[in-house]
């Protein structure tokens, strides 16, 4: 099947939509970004295209920005946004012959939409990026104090994932966030992260190594989820042992400002509780020739998760080894320089936007290379992302006390369900 025009959207995350559109266009495929709202950190160029799309994006932006303390206004904006989604879908069906949905969202977020796409022979690939598929009870970005609310969020996430599966979409996800899948999943690491920096940012500034003081940048979108307090404590501890480190912590800045700060640094400290070695910030740092230190419990499971795919070159370590790894990189500037060079080479070659887009073209054309697939029955990761393991275990314990095993939404995976139950009984 020859692809003429590809829909990419409706939600931007860390420049993925931009990167995919650029990659498709490099391959000679007409792709368009169609976004339901403006990104809070300035990715993309805002609403464009027909008046209908601009109205849809404006209503989505308004619905997202309005605080929950204004429920009537927020609800009205959401209703307008939903009402506009169906005309947008009609426009898209007339215009595109293939769809790449991002962040676990589609235009209307309904099973009917996916049924229509299937009946009209429009191939669909959906790219999950983390919180859109990760179980909320091990997701630090989801409030965990209210067990009933956590159970509802779990059911919503499970339904989202399985709606795409039942609708015939080809699902791309990572083994650390694929708990709710039932069918075979395309491994995120076999496809890659398509991030393309704005033209003025593409040439990486030279590293100033060796030098006495290590310049470090930490840019948390959510300091609690990213473990910022413990990261700052680790920097202070290493500095107290005589290693000169200059830490710059950024917050609330748009993407261009963050990129400028990264370009002036020697090392990026991403987060303490990640379930991937190279998420958006680390990929951007690699594009600029900068190494990234990432903490996360999934570091122990990476070799198995790759399934033969190349390892993204960040320094990915268990949270308890974060301080040790920081000191080692600060004292060995040669190793830091090598890691930075390897990271840049990886993202401009292996994760080049056109190469990632070419892999997704194969998926849209119906190919499913066996080496790209994994069975979700093999998922066994428990610790999650964005929170300490003890806090995650307590959330699971609270959820089990509220709704029993059924609240985990893992009845189709009895071994994983039993592992969570046993893990919750361990002391925090």
- 290's CB contacts (< 8 A; 6+ apart) are 204, 207, 262, 263, 265, 266, 267, 268, 340, 343
| Mean pLDDT on 258-285 | 93
Query: Do 179 and 277 reside in the same domain of the chain?
Result: no
* Phi (first) and psi of residue 258, to 5 degrees: -65, -45
Query: Do 175 and 221 reside in the same domain of the chain?
Result: no
Q: Residue 14 domain-assigned?
A: yes
* Chain mean pLDDT for the chain: 91
Rounded CA-CA distance 91/83 in Å is 14
- Name the burial class of residue 155, with classes exposed (0-12), middle (13-18) and buried (19+) by CB atoms within 10 angstroms of its CB: middle
What is the rounded end-to-end Cα distance, in angstroms, of the chain? 53
| Nearest CA among 118, 185, 386 for reference residue 275 | 386
Query: Do 175 and 240 reside in the same domain of the chain?
Result: no
Query: Do 104 and 228 reside in the same domain of the chain?
Result: no
Q: Residue 403 domain-assigned?
A: no
- 3 state DSSP class of 42: coil
pLDDT per residue as tens digits for the range 26-61: 999 999 999 988 866 555 555 567 899 999 888 888
| Mean pLDDT on 71-84 | 87
- The residue with tokens 């940048």 is 217
Residue 209 predicted with pLDDT over 80: no
pTM: 0.91
Query: Do 220 and 135 reside in the same domain of the chain?
Result: no
Query: Do 159 and 145 reside in the same domain of the chain?
Result: yes
| Nearest CA among 346, 410, 339, 333 for reference residue 379 | 410
The residue segments making up the domain with residue 130 are 5-196+355-374
Q: Residue 414 domain-assigned?
A: no
What is the domain-level CATH number for residue 106?
3.40.50
122 neighbors 93 (Cβ within 8 angstroms): yes
Rounded CA-CA distance 4/232 in Å is 49
- pLDDT confidence of 123, banded at 50, 70, 90? very high
pLDDT per residue as tens digits for the range 361-411: 999 999 999 999 999 999 999 999 999 999 999 999 999 999 999 999 999
């Amino acid at each position: 099947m020859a692809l003429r025009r590809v829909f990419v959207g409706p939600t931007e995350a860390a420049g993925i939509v931009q990167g995919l559109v650029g990659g498709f266009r490099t391959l000679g495929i007409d792709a368009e970004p169609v976004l339901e709202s403006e990104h809070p950190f300035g990715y993309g160029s805002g609403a464009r295209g027909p008046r209908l799309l601009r109205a849809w994006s404006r209503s989505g932006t308004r619905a997202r920005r309005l605080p929950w303390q204004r429920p009537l206004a927020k609800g009205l904006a959401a209703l307008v946004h939903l009402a506009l989604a169906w005309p947008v879908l009609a426009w898209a069906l007339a215009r595109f012959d293939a769809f790449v949905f991002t962040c676990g969202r589609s235009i209307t977020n309904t099973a009917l939409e996916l049924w229509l796409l299937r009946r009209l022979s429009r191939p669909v690939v959906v790219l999950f990026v983390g919180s859109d598929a990760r179980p909320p009870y091990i997701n630090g970005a989801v409030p965990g104090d209210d067990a009933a609310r956590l159970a509802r969020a779990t059911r919503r996430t499970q339904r989202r994932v399985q709606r795409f599966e039942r609708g015939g979409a080809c699902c791309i996800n990572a083994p650390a966030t694929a708990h709710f899948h039932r069918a075979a999943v395309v491994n995120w690491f076999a496809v890659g992260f398509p991030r393309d920096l704005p033209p003025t940012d593409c040439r990486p500034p030279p590293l100033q190594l060796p030098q006495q003081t290590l310049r470090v940048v930490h840019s948390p979108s959510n300091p609690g989820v990213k473990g910022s307090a413990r990261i700052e404590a680790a920097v202070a501890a290493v500095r107290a042992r005589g290693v000169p480190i200059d830490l710059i912590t950024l917050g609330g800045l748009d993407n261009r400002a963050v990129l400028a700060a990264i370009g002036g640094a020697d090392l990026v400290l991403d987060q303490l509780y990640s379930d991937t070695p190279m998420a958006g910030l680390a990929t951007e740092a690699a594009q600029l020739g900068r190494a990234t230190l990432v903490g996360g419990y999934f570091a122990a499971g990476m070799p198995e998760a790759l399934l033969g795919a190349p390892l993204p070159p960040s320094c990915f370590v268990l949270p308890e080894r974060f301080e040790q790894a920081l000191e080692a990189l600060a004292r060995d500037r040669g190793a830091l320089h090598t890691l930075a060079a390897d990271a840049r080479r990886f993202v401009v070659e292996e994760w080049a936007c056109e190469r990632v887009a070419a892999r997704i073209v194969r998926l849209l054309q119906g190919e499913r290379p066996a080496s790209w697939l994994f069975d979700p029955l093999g998922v066994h990761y428990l610790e999650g992302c964005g929170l300490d393991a003890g806090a995650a275990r307590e959330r699971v314990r609270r959820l089990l006390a509220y709704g029993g095993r059924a609240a985990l939404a893992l009845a189709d995976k009895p071994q994983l369900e039993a592992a969570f139950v046993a893990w919750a009984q361990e002391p925090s």
